[in-house]
Amino acid sequence: MSLNSKIPAGELSQKWSLYKNNCKIVNPANKRSLEVIVIGTGLAGASAAASLGELGYKVKAFCFQDSPRRAHSIAAQGGINAAKNYQNDGDSVYRLFYDTIKGGDYRARESNVHRLAEVSANIIDQCVAQGVPFAREYGGMLSNRSFGGTQVQRTFYAAGQTGQQLLIGAYQALERQVALGNVTMYSRHEMLDIVKIDGKARGIIARNLITGKLERHFGHAVLICSGGYGNVFYLSTNAMGSNVTAAWKAHKQGAYFGNPCYTQIHPTCIPVSGDHQSKLTLMSESLRNDGRIWVPKKQNDNRKPNEIPEDERDYYLERRYPAFGNLVPRDVASRAAKERCDAGYGVGTSKQAVYLDFAAAVIRYGTIECSKQGNHSPSAEEVRKYGLAVVKEKYGNLFDMYAKITGEDPYEVPMRIYPAVHYTMGGLWVDYELMTTVEGLYCLGEANFSDHGANRLGASALMQGLADGYFVIPYTLGNYLADDIRTKAIPTDHPAFVEAEKQVADRINKLMSIKGKQSVESIHKRLGLIMWNKCGMGRTAQGLQEAIVEIQALKKEFWSDVFIPGTIEGMNNELDKAQRVADFIELGELMCKDALNREESCGGHFREESQTPDGEAQRNDEEFMYVAAWEYNSDSKWTLHKEALNYEVVKPSQRSYK
């Protein structure tokens, strides 16, 4: 099957308007008899389910958590971008579009990104109308802040909890539709397979996680909004339950997987403290506005940070990238930290960390505050006192979180940070309408390969999730369902449902019957280590080839030696986890294959063979300016399809932050 991205004709800036004007629509009476299944209730899923419910579709929404409000979108800290130009600093739809394309290292589809930039402003309007309490200025107007990789202030925020506030807004809209009877909510349910009838997605098999029973649900269309797959690395900033299972089942039913190797490693996370570590915690990117990153100039320096004099510190980002300094994009900052640690300059007990130091900011702010008060020759103590107060006001909640986790006081000693897996740009391949290669099967939000190319800019994930759910899918889904109004709801005793349920049940029985010796968790940890070491921040052909062999061996081990206690009936978290890890293992292999295939460095994907003489990422536009869309054939076998990226408006150039 060849890929048809269905990009509308016309000038880039007119495509979406033309599409909306010409797409088919479903009349309200018919909407009532059309059923839509939504998997996942994060920003993309909740906003889609709510919006479709408002339109009159019969929606069934599923999440594995106890409530849709727990989806991991809630953990996003920094903000959401929108081309409002409220600051009069030259922002525009085009500029947001351009920044996103460039930030993505020219590996995203122009038409999708432009649409994203176009609807970004509507998102802010919608959220404010819902009662999202964004930060405001004293005049009552919305406040903005700046974020990495851009030169304008376009980020809207609600303290360090923007994701929470946006998700609560979408959640409330969703619950309103539940109350009105337009949406039926299935919480503590996990989707375990797609049901296809005549080549079209027509439903799902889901497991009720409380009773353990398998359920069949029909839908005229199915929307996968299940988020990213960062947990393939075991350790990531994702939630413990974040998983690839829904997307992976879709993939195995014919949905191509786009750019699986594109992983965003976030530079400022709290480092691993030991083998017990279960997850990593992000420290907002905004800290890099004021923190200076450094390591000792001497290798294996065991002195305490405060004992290392200024001239023995290496502010390596400022040294390597004088133009952007500590504010280089995430992928660049992460690789630079890894390079220093690998070379033996890392700090802390693990030596896998660098310092993020606020001492200079404290002095700078302290001096300003003192001079505001007319004190032009303040003592060092006075400067420190007032400087600390400013830093506390700006970053207090983050500093507190750091102190709780590490037991160290970041006001006294520099923070230790290290990069961690944060976001996956790859995901199910979708066309302009967000439909996967399976008809009637859509994918929204982080779960699709979407709009971020090879690297996502800060504050863009929230924007994309809500754009897809509130403003894109209501149109594109209608365009598909308009041809489906004569299709009656298919009874779930249809052979396709029976067969799909049997497959799922067989797999569960198989897992439970292995009765080996290793826990699911221990195998997941080993998978994570392989992925982190060989498909992490730096990738080589040799490492990737080794990783593929190791993962295949691990898969065998898993299917012959995993131990799952408990029973199939009733709640069994270990069984839930086992099914997810089984999918992660398969995905891990595909990620390595994709990374091996892409013999260039771009965005979050860094092939050590492809770098400039001074160690920067080297893109290869001649050979790799395409989306890698992988078709699943059979166990460990995939076919690569390429969607060429045609840049009509933006001219790709080598990114430079020097």
CB of 70 to another protein, least distance (A): 4
Contacts (CB under 8 A) with another protein, residues 354-393: none
Q: Which pairing describes strands 292-296 and 313-314: parallel, antiparallel, or unpaired? A: antiparallel
Report the alpha-carbon distance of residue 169 to residue 152 in Å, rounded. 26
Using CB under 8 A as the binding rule, whether residue 351 contacts another protein is answered as no
Q: 12 or 568: whose CB is closer to another protein?
A: 568
* 351, 418 contact by CB (below 8 A): no
Q: 12 or 178: whose CB is closer to another protein?
A: 178
Near another protein by CB under 8 A: residue from 147, 248, 471, 497: 471
654 is written with which tokens?
């080598």
CB of 184 to another protein, least distance (A): 12
Using CB under 8 A as the binding rule, whether residue 171 contacts another protein is answered as yes
Task: Output 495-501 pairs: Cβ under 8 A, ≥24 positions apart.
Answer: 496/195, 496/196, 496/197, 496/202, 497/195, 497/203, 497/205, 497/216, 497/218, 500/193, 500/194, 500/195, 500/205, 500/216, 501/193, 501/205, 501/214, 501/216
User: What is the full DSSP assignment across 405-472?
Assistant: HH---TTTSPEEEEEEEEEE--EE---TTSB-SSBTEEE-GGGB-TTSTTSPPTT-HHHHHHIIIIII
Report the alpha-carbon distance of residue 447 to residue 259 in Å, rounded. 12
Contacts (CB under 8 A) with another protein, residues 562-601: 563, 565-566, 570-571, 573-574
Using CB under 8 A as the binding rule, whether residue 557 contacts another protein is answered as no
Near another protein by CB under 8 A: residue from 131, 199, 322, 344: 131
Near another protein by CB under 8 A: residue from 4, 10, 18, 133: 133
Contacts (CB under 8 A) with another protein, residues 282-321: 282
Contacts (CB under 8 A) with another protein, residues 528-547: none
Report the alpha-carbon distance of residue 269 to residue 44 in Å, rounded. 25
Near another protein by CB under 8 A: residue from 11, 125, 312, 483: 125
Using CB under 8 A as the binding rule, whether residue 241 contacts another protein is answered as yes
Using CB under 8 A as the binding rule, whether residue 175 contacts another protein is answered as yes
Report the alpha-carbon distance of residue 462 to residue 78 in Å, rounded. 10
Using CB under 8 A as the binding rule, whether residue 140 contacts another protein is answered as yes
Sign of CA dihedral 381, 386, 389, 393: negative
Contacts (CB under 8 A) with another protein, residues 386-425: 401, 404-408
Q: 161 or 259: whose CB is closer to another protein?
A: 161
Contacts (CB under 8 A) with another protein, residues 473-512: 474
CB of 301 to another protein, least distance (A): 19
Near another protein by CB under 8 A: residue from 13, 92, 172, 350: 172
Distant-in-sequence, close-in-space partners of 486: CB < 8 Å, separation ≥ 6: none
Using CB under 8 A as the binding rule, whether residue 513 contacts another protein is answered as no
Using CB under 8 A as the binding rule, whether residue 277 contacts another protein is answered as yes
x/- track of binding to another protein for residues 432-461 (CB under 8 A): ------------------------------
Using CB under 8 A as the binding rule, whether residue 274 contacts another protein is answered as yes
**Of 398, 391, 42, nearest to 239 (Cα)?**
42
Near another protein by CB under 8 A: residue from 23, 159, 489, 514: 159
- Token pair 């460095």 is found at 601
Near another protein by CB under 8 A: residue from 59, 124, 461, 578: 124
Using CB under 8 A as the binding rule, whether residue 261 contacts another protein is answered as no
Dihedral, CA atoms, 601, 154, 79, 436, nearest 10 degrees?
-50
Using CB under 8 A as the binding rule, whether residue 130 contacts another protein is answered as yes
418 is written with which tokens?
């290290």
Segment contacting another protein (CB under 8 A): 136-144, 317-325, 441-449, 538-546?
136-144
Q: 283 or 645: whose CB is closer to another protein?
A: 283
Segment contacting another protein (CB under 8 A): 119-127, 457-465, 595-603, 643-651?
119-127
Radius of gyration for the chain, computed over Cα atoms and rounded to the nearest angstrom: 25
Using CB under 8 A as the binding rule, whether residue 523 contacts another protein is answered as no
Query: Which helix H or strand E contains 207, and what residues bound it?
Result: strand 200-208
φ, ψ of residue 487 in degrees (nearest 5) = -75, 120
Near another protein by CB under 8 A: residue from 145, 176, 351, 394: 176
Total number of residues that touch another protein (CB under 8 A): 83
- 263 SS3 class: strand
Near another protein by CB under 8 A: residue from 200, 279, 364, 392: 279
Dihedral, CA atoms, 53, 58, 63, 69, nearest 10 degrees?
20
* 74, 570 contact by CB (below 8 A): no
Using CB under 8 A as the binding rule, whether residue 28 contacts another protein is answered as no
Report the alpha-carbon distance of residue 69 to residue 77 in Å, rounded. 16
Contacts (CB under 8 A) with another protein, residues 199-238: 210, 237
Q: 42 or 103: whose CB is closer to another protein?
A: 42
Near another protein by CB under 8 A: residue from 19, 62, 86, 147: 86
Using CB under 8 A as the binding rule, whether residue 185 contacts another protein is answered as yes
Segment contacting another protein (CB under 8 A): 134-142, 314-322, 440-448, 624-632?
134-142
Q: 358 or 471: whose CB is closer to another protein?
A: 471
**Of 368, 394, 356, nearest to 266 (Cα)?**
356
Hey, which residues does 293 pair with through a beta bridge?
356
**Identity of the amino acid at 167:** L
How far apart are the two ends of the chain, measured CA to CA in Å? 43
Segment contacting another protein (CB under 8 A): 3-11, 27-35, 177-185, 322-330?
177-185
